[in-house]
């Protein structure tokens, strides 16, 4: 199946969905027929996000912390109470509270990134599995990063958590097969508030270094996620789809 209705009447939960990539994913899923559950930490942000949908009655918002196992279970419970199913889960929520050398990092900020970016993936997936997918099947998409395969100054711990997401994707794909497919999308530099400090000061220069000539948009990532959630990806699991405009295809050593 392909086209505008390939997620017709499915229920998709998206974490970190009040803005940026998460909101774009939820909007794309809704445009393809899904009922969507938006989770993020703040009710006010979720209310603003819900107002952007053409059919808000097909949108549920649940305020929750992505690093909390208890709150992940509550998201699943409320999703099932409202929509009666969870066909898709997108683990998008992420944080990067520390910038600098790893050896100068403090435990609290490293732990926060671990809890949200890495353990949060397991928490949400486990909740969806035990609450619905174990008996009914489904699809999970984890939002990783090309940073999970890179060494970069300042964001080593963030990249380490995203490297973990790449491995967790393959591990969960193995453990949850055949009923549940688990894949990842690894974006490059995307125009989001989360990454503003990286792209805004030198967007033109950065765009010139990307083979496709521009930084990414949240909708670029959303399109890839919607495909992986759909039956178009029915024989894809344990895979990582890189969405980076060709960044990783550039020659190594900074040439080009």
Residues designated catalytic: 158
Q: How far apart are CA 139 and CA 21, in angstroms?
A: 18
Cβ-based neighbour number of residue 125 at 10 Å: 24
- Count other Cβ atoms within 10 Å, centred on residue 172: 25
Tokens of 107: 């435990």
Task: Tell me which residue of 154, 162, 73 sits closest to 113, measured CA to CA.
Answer: 162
Instruction: Answer whether 41's CB lies under 8 Å from 64's CB.
Output: yes
Distance from C-alpha of 145 to C-alpha of 204, rounded to nearest angstrom: 21
Q: What radius of gyration do the chain's Cα atoms show?
A: 17
């Amino acid at each position: 199946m392909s086209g505008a209705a390939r997620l017709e009447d499915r229920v998709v939960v998206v974490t970190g969905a009040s803005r940026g990539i998460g909101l774009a994913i939820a909007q794309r899923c809704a445009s393809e027929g899904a009922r969507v559950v938006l989770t993020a930490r703040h009710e006010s942000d979720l209310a603003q996000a819900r107002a952007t949908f053409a059919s808000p009655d097909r949108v549920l918002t649940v305020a929750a912390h992505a690093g909390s196992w208890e709150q992940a279970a509550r998201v699943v419970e409320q999703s099932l109470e409202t929509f009666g199913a969870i066909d898709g889960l997108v683990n998008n929520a992420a944080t990067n509270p520390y910038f600098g050398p790893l050896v100068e990092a403090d435990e609290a900020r490293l732990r926060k990134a671990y809890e949200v970016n890495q353990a949060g993936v397991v928490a949400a997936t486990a909740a969806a599995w035990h609450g619905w997918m174990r008996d009914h099947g489904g699809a999970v998409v984890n939002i990783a990063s090309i940073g999970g395969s890179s060494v970069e100054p300042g964001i080593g711990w963030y990249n380490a958590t995203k490297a973990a997401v790449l491995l967790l994707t393959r591990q969960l794909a193995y453990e949850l097969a055949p009923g549940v497919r688990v894949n990842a999308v690894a974006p490059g530099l995307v125009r989001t508030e989360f990454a503003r400090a990286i792209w805004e000061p030198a967007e033109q220069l950065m765009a010139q270094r990307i083979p496709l000539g521009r930084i990414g948009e949240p909708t670029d990532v959303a399109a890839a996620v919607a495909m992986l959630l759909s039956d178009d990806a029915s024989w894809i699991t344990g895979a990582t789809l890189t969405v980076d405009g060709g960044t990783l295809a550039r020659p190594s050593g900074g040439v080009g």
